[in-house]
Amino acid sequence: MKTSRYLGLLMIISGATLWGLSGPMIQWLFSHSDLTSINFLIVRLISAGSIILGYLFFAKKKIFMVWKDPRDWIQIVIFAVIGMLGAQYAFIETINVSNAVTATLFQFFGPVLITIYVAIQNKKLPSTVQILAVCTALIGLFFLITNGSIENIVLSNRAIFLGVLTMLGFTFYTLHPASLIKKWGTLMIVGWGMFIGGIVLLIFNQNFSVQLLPNTLTNYIFFIMILAIAIGTISFLLYIGSLKYLSPTETSILSSIEPFVAGIVSMTWLNESFGVYQMVGGAFIITAVIFLTMPKKREKLNEKIKMVS
């Protein structure tokens, strides 16, 4: 048990670190080449989706069974276009117009929106801890956008708009495929979601050509692009794999190192600078998400305290 737990810890820490590294790499790509978000996404989604589906195929999983029931494949297509493609495009465009750390923190705000959505859907007020976590996250978001001064907003309107879309996209990405994942498994749904999302984007961007990429990019930039795609795919597989050995609560808490890694890499490699209040805002958002992963345990503890008193 100890060995498997250590393996799970190694997987989630490695996955979160790699995901935190992938953001600055994408930011570097955009600042050192004419690569567009759409072209990068086409390569990223199709290649990552193909890798995941290929892995499942060689593992003798029936990857085409999901297309037999119209109710399933319609939901998969919706997830692929709105969830996978929408969330990924908003995230990468946020990196493009602001920076990797900001995009990662906007993405991290997703669990807060999920908490609010679930409370509305169940027509039940959130717990005290959840309400405090939501308020903490909102304060963090305010500091992130304004750096403590509403008169001197540090993010452009486009960056804020795309950041909000990132939050909404990752919220939809998390909530929508729940029943599909329960039936078919996470890798199956995410693999098809990536592949279909990339194909849809390719259809609407007919000027794209794989052969042109090596010609328009230098060998080094092309290598960094492939490396960023590989790192992003591996980080996801490590995250999913860690769930076999750790609880979702533990993986959620440990994945909070993503923004820290993105921040350190951005400041040391990309020479990014962040205001004090922006860093405080990021810490607030991360703290809120950590608390949101443990509401049930805290509620049970409160109930026990009330019974004793």
Q: Tell whether pTM > 0.85.
A: no
The pLDDT, as a whole number, for residue 201 is 93
Same domain, yes or no: 247 and 260: yes
Cβ pair 161, 12 in contact under 8 A: no
Residues 163 and 256 placed together within one structural domain of the fold: no
Averaging pLDDT over each range in 54-68, 128-142, 226-240, which range is the top one?
54-68
- My answer on whether 91 and 201 are in the same domain is yes
Highest mean pLDDT among 16-30, 114-128, 240-254: 16-30
Asked if 104 and 226 sit in the same domain, the reply is no
Looking at the structure, do residues 24 and 81 belong to the same domain, yes or no? no
Average pLDDT score over residue span 279-289: 88
Q: Is it the case that residue 161 has pLDDT exceeding 80?
A: yes
Share of the chain above pLDDT 70, in %: 91
Is residue 18 within 8 Å of residue 238, measured between CB atoms?
A: yes
Average pLDDT over residues 264-275: 87
What is each CA distance from 105 to 74, 82, 119, 129, 166, in whole angstroms? Answer: 31, 20, 23, 21, 10
Which residues constitute the domain of residue 230? 1-35+219-272
> Which pLDDT belongs to residue 248?
64
3-state DSSP of the chain: CHHHHHHHHHHHHHHHHHHHHHHHHHHHHHHHCCCCHHHHHHHHHHHHHHHHHHHHHHCCCCCCHHHCCHHHHHHHHHHHHHHHHHHHHHHHHHHHHCCHHHHHHHHHCHHHHHHHHHHHHHCCCCCHHHHHHHHHHHHHHHHHHHCCCCCCCCCCHHHHHHHHHHHHHHHHHHHCCHHHHHHHCHHHHHHHHHHHHHHHHHHCCCCCCCCHHHHHCCHHHHHHHHHHHHHHHHHHHHHHHHCCCCCHHHHHHHCCHHHHHHHHHHHHHCCCCCCHHHHHHHHHHHHHHHHHCCHHHHHHHHHHHHHHC
Same domain, 171 and 302: yes
What is the model's pLDDT at position 28? 94
Say yes or no: 27 and 45 in one domain. no
How far is it, in rounded angstroms, from Cα 212 to Cα 39? 11
Q: Please state the separation of Cα 71 from the chain's center in Å.
A: 26
Same domain, 214 and 71: yes
**CB hemisphere CA count around 153 (13 angstroms):** 11
Are 300 and 183 found together in one domain? yes
Residue-wise pLDDT tens digits, 16-46: 899 889 999 999 999 988 888 888 999 999 9
pLDDT band per the 50, 70, 90 thresholds, residue 111: confident
Of 11, 86, 45, 3, whose CA–CA distance to 190 is shortest?
A: 45
Least confident span in 111-125, 172-186, 210-224: 210-224
**Torsion-angle region of 124 (φ positive above 0: left; ψ -120 to 50: alpha; else: beta):** beta
**In this prediction, what percent of the chain has a pLDDT beyond 90?**
32
Burial (CB count within 10 angstroms: exposed 0-12, middle 13-18, buried 19+), residue 125:
exposed
Which range (91-105, 186-200, 249-263, 284-298) has the least confidence? 284-298
| Average of per-residue pLDDT values in the chain | 84
Q: Are residues 246 and 277 in the same domain?
A: no
C-alpha 242, offset from chain centre:
16
Give the count of domains, the chain. 2
Angle made by CA atoms 174, 66, 88, in degrees to the nearest 5? 35
Q: Are 20 and 257 in contact (CB under 8 A)?
A: yes
Task: Report the chain's terminal Cα–Cα distance, integer Å.
Answer: 38
Is the pLDDT confidence value at 303 over 60? no
Residues 182 and 252 in one domain: no
Does residue 228 sit in the same domain as residue 147? no
For the stretch 207-223, pLDDT in tens is: 777 666 767 788 888 89
